């Protein structure tokens, strides 16, 4: 381990003395989901399963794209679980009777029905490894809270705020966190009068980023440089969400990331940097081999690293996050300025994703990271 990483760990009480991992309970792995990030979720779940020791009591539950919950055997096959877990996992979760045609209501009931058959104990933990709407946005967290189950990650409030970029930025602004300039557009306002709805957006100047307010993994994001491109990008974003955020596109900035681990006293990882050859850090760059270069630790001064980690903690606390989160920042090296871009309350969790790699650089292995998250979930419950 590098000396800088070692110093960061030694200065962080929460990493040095983590909650003792508990192995008595079972792990219910919720993954898949109905959002556009279905495949990302499955990849994260496979990494978690492969990290667990033989004999671990695991119940994989895959939510299909139509909102149904696959029965356990199908879930195992889809996740490529090559080895049978030796420990008893209890009753098999049934498939839903029918697809969830009304996701707001039926999906919650479908998940609750599947979980209720498992006779879960206080020692069991649900890992909702779901990305995007109907998974990372507080929907599933609400179900788990009502069922009084221990689960990994943030609660309803933080999950919802972290998912909705407009609300997240409003909360960050209230906490005085520095951000890029942005404007919000609702579908209703845009349909009534597109020109008026975009009036304040034009004040930001060019180029701009257009994003659906509720979506992750850079899906639906477009970079635009003129009025015609703006109109088309907004139209397309509104097919994915009824609210759209438009941000100033900073030129020549570096993109830094910090992983946060903990509940009320969170630990902070070393700072990492993402570099890529595309116009911006899009879906292809994030999930294609060779699409991006991850530098850990980031080649920045100790002073910049300290400020980045301090901002990450403030962002985590601003939305009342718990368990885990990844905070993304912009670094304008010429100005010496750091800006908070966003917080992700359920970041990509494959073995090669930035979040676990940041902790690996701090001496926390992937299997140990999973165990700590389960312990934090039990602690929060």
Query: Where are the chain's structural domains?
Result: 16-153, 181-248, 251-365+369-373
- DSSP structure class, residue 74: H
Q: CB–CB of 242/166 below 8 Å?
A: no
Domains 181-248 and 251-365+369-373 share a fold: no
Helix 302-318 and helix 165-174, axial crossing angle in degrees, nearest 10: 110
Fold classified for 16-153: Rossmann fold (3.40.50)
CA distance 94 to 233: 41
Q: Return per-residue pLDDT of the chain as tens, 381 residues.
A: 443 343 333 333 333 333 334 446 899 999 999 887 888 899 999 999 999 987 789 988 999 988 888 887 788 788 876 444 433 333 333 333 333 334 555 788 888 988 988 889 888 999 999 988 888 999 999 999 999 999 999 999 999 999 999 999 999 999 999 999 999 999 999 999 999 999 999 899 999 999 999 875 456 789 999 999 999 999 999 998 999 999 999 988 999 999 999 999 999 999 999 997 655 544 444 444 555 789 999 999 999 999 999 999 999 999 999 999 999 999 999 999 999 999 999 999 998 899 999 999 999 999 999 999 999 999 998
Q: Quick one: CATH architecture of 181-248?
A: 2-Layer Sandwich (3.30)
Burial of 299 (0-12, 13-18, 19+ CB in 10 A): exposed
Q: What is the pLDDT of residue 91?
A: 34
CATH 3.40.190.150 fits 251-365+369-373, yes or no: no
The answer to whether the beta carbons of residues 48 and 125 sit under 8 Å apart is no
CA pair distance 60, 11, nearest whole angstrom: 37
Enter the pTM of the model. Answer: 0.84
Q: What are phi and psi of 284, to 5 degrees?
A: -60, -45
For residues 337 and 216, what is the distance between their CA atoms, to the nearest angstrom? Answer: 25
Q: Residue 251: exposed, middle, or buried by beta-carbon count in 10 A (0-12, 13-18, 19+)?
A: exposed
């Amino acid at each position: 381990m590098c000396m800088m990483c070692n110093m960061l760990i030694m200065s962080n009480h929460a990493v040095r003395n983590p909650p003792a991992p508990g192995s008595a309970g079972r792990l219910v792995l919720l993954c898949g989901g109905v959002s556009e990030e279905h495949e990302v979720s499955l990849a994260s779940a496979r990494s978690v399963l492969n990290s667990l020791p033989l004999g671990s009591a695991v119940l994989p539950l895959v939510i299909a794209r139509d909102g149904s919950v696959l029965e356990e055997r199908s879930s195992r096959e889809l996740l490529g679980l090559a080895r049978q877990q030796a420990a008893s996992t209890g009753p098999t979760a049934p498939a839903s009777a029918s697809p969830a045609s009304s996701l707001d209501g039926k999906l919650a009931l479908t998940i609750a029905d599947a979980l209720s058959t498992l006779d879960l104990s206080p020692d069991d933990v649900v890992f909702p490894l779901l990305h995007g709407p109907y998974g990372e946005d507080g929907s599933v967290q609400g179900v788990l809270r009502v069922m009084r189950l221990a689960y990994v990650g943030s609660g309803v409030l933080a999950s919802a705020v972290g998912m909705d970029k407009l609300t997240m930025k409003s909360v960050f602004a209230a906490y005085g966190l520095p951000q890029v300039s942005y404007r919000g557009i609702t579908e209703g306002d845009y349909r009534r009068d597109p020109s008026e709805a975009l009036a304040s957006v034009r004040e930001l100047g060019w180029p701009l980023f257009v994003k659906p307010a509720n979506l992750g993994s850079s899906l639906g994001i477009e970079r635009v440089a003129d009025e015609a491109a703006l109109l088309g990008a907004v139209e397309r974003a509104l097919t994915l969400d009824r609210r759209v955020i438009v941000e100033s596109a900073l030129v020549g900035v570096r993109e830094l990331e910090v992983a946060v681990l903990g509940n009320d006293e969170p630990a902070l990882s070393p700072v990492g940097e993402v570099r890529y050859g595309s116009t911006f850090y899009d879906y292809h760059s994030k999930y294609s081999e060779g699409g991006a270069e991850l530098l850990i630790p980031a080649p920045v001064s100790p002073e910049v690293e300290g400020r980045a980690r301090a901002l990450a903690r403030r962002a985590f606390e601003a939305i009342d996050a718990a368990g885990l989160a990844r905070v993304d920042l912009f670094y304008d090296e010429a100005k010496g300025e750091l800006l908070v871009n966003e917080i992700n309350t359920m970041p990509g969790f494959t073995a090669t994703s930035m979040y676990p790699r940041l902790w690996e650089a701090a001496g926390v292995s992937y299997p140990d990271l999973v165990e700590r998250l389960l312990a934090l979930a039990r602690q929060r419950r």
